[in-house]
Amino acid sequence: MRYWLIKSEPYKISIDDLAAMPEQTTAWFGIRNYQSRNFMRNQMSPGDSVFFYHSCCAQPGIVGIAKVTQAAYPDATQFDPSSRYFDAKATEQNPRWFNIEITYVKKTRLLTIKELRRYPELIRMRILQQGNRLSITPIDPTEWKFILNILEKPITQVIK
């Protein structure tokens, strides 16, 4: 049982989009970064918990919680020449890219990256490191609990 943070550009798939999907579930396809692929293929498994993060938008931050509901399998878009995620070097026998599936759990308040940076307990988070661009990052169990705790408190008690 592990913890993760997954970035999504809300104009592609927002937390509301995820909630509106059939079964509130989607394949997390289109990841074309080896480190993120390896996390999915080697480590992510059903039952893992996920912070859903909006990036590349006016207010980047954590917006909800999801869970992994399907272990990694080959990403179908790599075989589809009409897809922007097509990869000519991938074959059915030797797929290069994988996706897991995630399912909506709940929305949270917006916990912005700006706010995340204010907690010394979170300074080691990957997404807060300079230049970090990984769209899937592991979250330390201690950090997970810390963030959950922040999310449960009224905002007025958290921000000075």
Partner DNA sequence: GCCAACGTTGGC
Among 11, 42, 46, 114, binds DNA (CB under 7 A): 114
Nearer to DNA, 24 or 30 (CB): 30
> Is residue 133 a contact point for DNA (CB under 7 A)?
yes
Scanning 55-63, 75-83, 98-106, 143-151 for contacts with DNA by CB under 7 A, the matching segment is 55-63
Q: CA–CA separation, 136 vs 118, rounded Å?
A: 22
Whether 78 contacts 97, CB under 8 Å: yes
Q: Using the 8-state DSSP alphabet, how is residue 41 labeled?
A: I
From 15-23, 65-73, 102-110, 124-132, span contacting DNA (CB under 7 A):
124-132
Instruction: Retrieve residue 67's tokens.
Output: 């869970």
C-beta neighbour count of 156 within 10 angstroms: 7
- Nearer Cβ to DNA (68/125): 125
Residue keyed to tokens 């498994």:
45
What is the rounded distance in angstroms from the CA atom of residue 27 to the CA atom of residue 95? 16
Q: Is 34 in the site for DNA (CB under 7 A)?
A: yes
Q: Does 81 bind DNA (CB under 7 A)?
A: no
56 binds DNA (CB under 7 A): yes
Give the range of 13-21, 41-49, 126-134, 151-159 binding DNA by CB under 7 A.
126-134
Q: 87-112 burial by CB neighbour count: b if 16+ within 10 A, else e?
A: beebeeeebebbbbbbbbbeebbbbe
**Which residues sit opposite 111 in a β-bridge?**
62
Member of 127, 139, 147, 150 binding DNA (CB under 7 A): 127
Under rule CB under 7 A, residue 124 binds DNA = no
Residue numbers of the site for DNA (CB under 7 A)?
A: 7, 9, 33-35, 55-57, 60, 113-114, 117, 127, 129-135
